[in-house]
Amino acid sequence: MLPSQIERLFDEPPAQYTEEHFRLFREFKDALNRGEIRAAEPDPSSKTGWRANAWVKKGILLGFRMGTIEDMSLDGKRQRFFDKSTYPVRTINADDGVRIVPGGSSIRDGSFVGRGVICMPPMFINAGAYVGEGTMIDSHALVGSCAQVGGNCHISAGAQIGGVLEPVGALPVVLEDEVLVGGNCGVYEGTVVKRRAVLGTGTILNRSIPVYDLVRDAVYTATDSDPLVIPEQAIVVPGSRAVSHAAGAKWGLSLQAAVIVKYRDAKTDARVQLEDLLR
């Protein structure tokens, strides 16, 4: 019933929103906070293993449409903040089991944050995001709107996990369980990083950058209908490819690429386990 009500309110906006409309949106947002509904969810029948839930993304967009700008300042005399009334900072209690280290982090309402998640300051989780249990989000890292992050991942300092809120039918960025994202990485435009993959420092993944698999002698790219998919346990590092155009060759230019240099082994696992000391 909730999906049809949200879709109707999104597709047929009233002249004025009533308290009943706001009650419906609060019900929707509470379900997002509990992780009962998600902008995308596993789907074994799809090529990527995931499917977008367009009605959920419509509901998130609906919140921006319904909200008004209001003062959200913690200290109005020293520094003021203004945002949509429908998306305040999310309330988290000690019983939730989430560790938010002091220093300026922000988690927006309408996002799921699992038990055991560690938030190192300053970091930001946007509305519609899903962060699984035991994941660490390091300093200056961003989890974008609708991004889906699995359990026991590590999003290192300065990493950017894009979301993809629009168009509503597009798959957002997905990181499956136990993915390690190195510092200053960027994952954008609906890229799916499969379970236990590792992205080396500075790796950028999007629909335009090809990924060269040295182990399997394959090249992975996005298509018109499907996003880029990084295989399970792949170790991906930044790379480059030569420009074949005559002028580019004359100048010795190269374009950005990503390279899979190996797949996880015992040595990789031993290095990744070092972060457990921080928990």
Query: DSSP readout, 26-46?
Result: HHHHHHHHHTSS-SEEE-TTS
Backbone angles phi, psi at 100, to 5 degrees: -115, 105
| pLDDT for residue 130 is more than 60 | yes
**Quick one: average pLDDT of 152-164?**
96
**Quick one: average pLDDT of 243-249?**
91
Confidence of residue 59 (pLDDT cuts 50, 70, 90): very high
| pLDDT for residue 77 is more than 70 | yes
Q: Which two tokens stand for residue 41?
A: 């969810």
Kindly list the domain boundaries of the chain, sorted by start residue. 2-68
Domain covering 2-68, topology: 1.10.166
Residues 130 and 144: their CA atoms lie apart, in Å, by 10
Confidence of residue 79 (pLDDT cuts 50, 70, 90): confident
What is the amino acid identity at position 236? V
What's the angle, vertex CA 87, arms to CA 4 and CA 186, rounded to 5? 95
- Are the beta carbons of 208 and 237 closer than 8 angstroms? no
| pLDDT for residue 161 is more than 60 | yes
Mean pLDDT of the chain, nearest integer: 94
Confidence of residue 15 (pLDDT cuts 50, 70, 90): very high
Looking at residue 82, its pLDDT comes to: 93
Long-range contacts of 32-35 (CB under 8 A, 24+ apart): 32/56, 32/59, 32/60, 32/110, 32/111, 32/112, 32/127, 32/128, 33/90, 33/109, 33/110, 33/111, 33/112, 34/112, 35/112, 35/114, 35/130
Q: For 172-185, how does the pLDDT look when each residue is reduced to its tens digit (9 = 90+)?
A: 999 999 999 999 99
Looking at residue 177, its pLDDT comes to: 98
**Quick one: average pLDDT of 246-258?**
94
| pLDDT for residue 270 is more than 90 | no
| pLDDT for residue 274 is more than 60 | no
Looking at residue 276, its pLDDT comes to: 62
Looking at residue 271, its pLDDT comes to: 65
| pLDDT for residue 273 is more than 80 | no
Long-range contacts of 22-30 (CB under 8 A, 24+ apart): 22/66, 25/59, 25/62, 25/63, 25/66, 25/86, 27/2, 28/2, 28/59, 28/62, 29/63, 29/86, 29/109, 29/110
Chain centroid, CA 108 distance in Å = 13
pTM (two decimals): 0.94
What is the amino acid identity at position 223? T
Reduced DSSP (H G I as helix, E B as strand, rest coil) percent helix, strand, coil of the chain, to 5: 20, 30, 50
